[in-house]
Amino acid sequence: MNFLYQLAGIATAIAEDAAAGSEVLSDAEALAEVNPIVSIITTLLPMVLIFVVFYFMLIRPQQKKDKQVKEMLNNLKVSDRVCTIGGIYGTITQIKDDTITLSVGNQNMTMVVARWGIRSVEEVSIENDTESLN
């Protein structure tokens, strides 16, 4: 019987608190009221983590790729076999500031392209002297 009185007393106390308008705070809300710096950190931490993931998954690899392309374009030299971004294969015959003259086709037609228009330098090995690159 004593147990029922205690249970009734607890239920009465809870009902009085709810009627008085006092709110029961969760642990996070109680901690935020105690220390506002903690609430700012818990708000900003997911955004910082997302930025770090984007940096290492997207930004950094693209910067490395851009650096490799820049090095390749700076190291071009006469007689390199190249492929343009349009898919044309040719041999470099002349290099000026931002333009490159290519020898293209069987008749060695010349073609002038922008330096940035070179996609890649092809590795060519000639197995016999009669083989033609163009």
Residue 131 lies inside a defined structural domain of this protein: no
What is the tally of structural domains in the chain? Answer: 2
Residue 133 lies inside a defined structural domain of this protein: no
What is the average per-residue pLDDT within 98-125? 91
**Start-to-end C-alpha separation, the chain:** 104
User: Cα 59 to chain center, whole Å?
Assistant: 3
pTM for the model: 0.59
pLDDT band at 65 (very low <50, low <70, confident <90, very high): very high
Domain that holds residue 101: 77-122
Distance CA 129, CA 51 (A): 56
Instruction: Quote the radius of gyration of the chain (alpha carbons, Å).
Output: 36
pLDDT band at 130 (very low <50, low <70, confident <90, very high): low
Average pLDDT, the chain: 80
Half-sphere exposure of 84 (CA within 13 A, CB side): 19
Residue 8: pLDDT over 90: no
Domain shared by 96 and 116, yes or no = yes
